[in-house]
Amino acid sequence: MLLIHASLMACSQHSDPDTLTFWTVGREGEAITQLLPQFERENPAIHVTLQQLPLSAAHQKLLTAFAGDSTPDMTQLGNTWLPELVAVGALEPLQTRVANSKTIQPNDYFPSIWSTNVYEGALYGVPWYVDTRLLFYRNDLLKAAGFDAPPRDWAQWRRMLAALSHPEQGQYGILLPTNEYDQLTSLALQQPDPLLRDGGRYGNFESAGFKRALTFYVDTFRLHQAPPITNVEAGNPWVEFGRGVYSFYFSGPWNISEFRTRLPASAEDTWNTAPLPGPDGPGAAIAGGSSLVVFRRAKHKDAAWKLIEYLSRPDVQGRFYDLLGDMPPRRSSWNEASLRSDTKAQAFRDQLEHVKPTPPVPEWEQIVNQMQLVAAQAVAGDLTIDQATAEIDRRADRILEKRRWMLDRAQHASSAPP
């Protein structure tokens, strides 16, 4: 059925002048097919053609489409990728459209999430859903070990991890896949030191703050409170969390529904979510998520903006949460029935007021990948903390070399006499 639908849409792509092409990334593509009929009923002149990109190929496909001059009208875009596409001039500024919009109220959005769409003073995207990382925990196991509440700071967290880890029985406090960078990035963002210095010219990984975060991260493995495995080897972490192999799980909002479908209904009361503990007291978490953006070369910018406004409506965002569990970026959407009544979503609601974006440089994705590769070497015991942070800085500085050159050139050009 879906296939017929897709092929019909493919046929009409060229004949219909008001066909809006919209790329989605990952799981959102399936859920949105259920939101589009209402949009098309409200706007009979617009027809939306969806193309669903798998997450693993999306980054490459977006850049290739830009290089090959075949970008769609609009796309869903992870907010860490936004600076990259803005830097190459692929995206349409949306400032004036937002100012004239009745639906989209910037003040209603979580400020850190909104700010990830502002690049050098101009707005390029409207947040669609938010994503952050916090703790899932087994409250029954914590209680059995004598802890009544989830940890609020690292010291408490460390004590709980120690009490709940029994590596000889194959039980660990937490699962931290060594090939995922979100966890270490979250810990690093809790520190006062920025991750890059001098306006994103150099890495700042040798700062005291990052060293503290990396030490906490690596110690968790050295103390055998987390197994040194990748997510490929972790296999099915949901079932293992249910079995009590891990008492904590450091992950994002989509896992609420994942746990509900994979664990028996009777297990619902054995786990909960908690904001991320910080070095001293409740800490910040990563301001992630996806935005909706319009391409500069789009042919149907007005139609694209209509769809963005539709998808930003609180009632539509509430339905989107029901379909997929993606959390809305605006506070009024959190008043929709199912979100307000879900206790497990509340930790995310609280955390979202304390989130911090990653450095807005196009090279960030590349740098954070290198950071995790080096961190994995430190976990394996090949590098000390000092060696690892020096190596991450070295790699970051190499990656940022071109950016430095471009910034310096722009400065010279503006300071030189006309």
Partner 1 sequence: MNGQRAAWVFLAPAAIVLGVFFLLPVIGAFVLSLTDYDLYALADIHNLRFVALGNYWALLQRPLFWSALGHTVYFVAVGVPLSMLVSLGTALLLHSPMARFKPFFRTALFAPVVTTVVAVAVVWRYLFNTKYGLINYALEWTGIHPVDWLGDPHWAMPAIILFAIWKNFGYNMIILLAGLQAIPTELYEAARIDGASAWRQFRHITLPMLAPTLLMVGILTVSGYFQLFAEPYVITEGGPLQSTVSVLYLMYDEGFTWWSLGSASAIAFLLFLTMFVVTACMLRMERREAKV
CB burial of residue 40 (10 Å; 0-12, 13-18, 19+): middle
Instruction: Give whichever of 326 and 363 is closer to partner 1, judged by the CB atom.
Output: 363
Q: CA dist 77 to 1, 91, 117, 150, Å? A: 28, 11, 10, 33
Q: Tell the smallest beta-carbon distance from residue 176 to partner 1 (Å).
A: 15
What CA dihedral angle connects 216, 224, 373 and 242, to 10 degrees?
-100
Q: Tell the smallest beta-carbon distance from residue 405 to partner 1 (Å).
A: 7
Q: Tell the smallest beta-carbon distance from residue 403 to partner 1 (Å).
A: 8
Per-residue tokens: 17: 């002048």
Q: Tell the smallest beta-carbon distance from residue 181 to partner 1 (Å).
A: 14
Q: Tell the smallest beta-carbon distance from residue 374 to partner 1 (Å).
A: 11
Place of tokens 């301001």: 287
Alpha-carbon span 82 to 127, nearest angstrom: 11
Instruction: Give whichever of 75 and 372 is closer to partner 1, judged by the CB atom.
Output: 372
Instruction: Give whichever of 241 and 321 is closer to partner 1, judged by the CB atom.
Output: 241
| Residues within the interface to partner 1 (CB under 8 A) | 59-60, 63-64, 66-67, 84, 87-90, 179, 229-230, 232-233, 235, 362, 366, 373, 376-377, 380, 398, 402, 405-406
Instruction: Give whichever of 66 and 128 is closer to partner 1, judged by the CB atom.
Output: 66
118 bridge partner residues: 123
Q: Which helix (H) or strand (E) holds 274?
A: strand 271-274
Instruction: Give whichever of 18 and 365 is closer to partner 1, judged by the CB atom.
Output: 365
Q: Which of 378, 375, 321, 369 is nearest to 345 (CA)?
A: 321
Q: Tell the smallest beta-carbon distance from residue 54 to partner 1 (Å).
A: 13
Instruction: Give whichever of 5 and 398 is closer to partner 1, judged by the CB atom.
Output: 398
126 bridge partner residues: 292
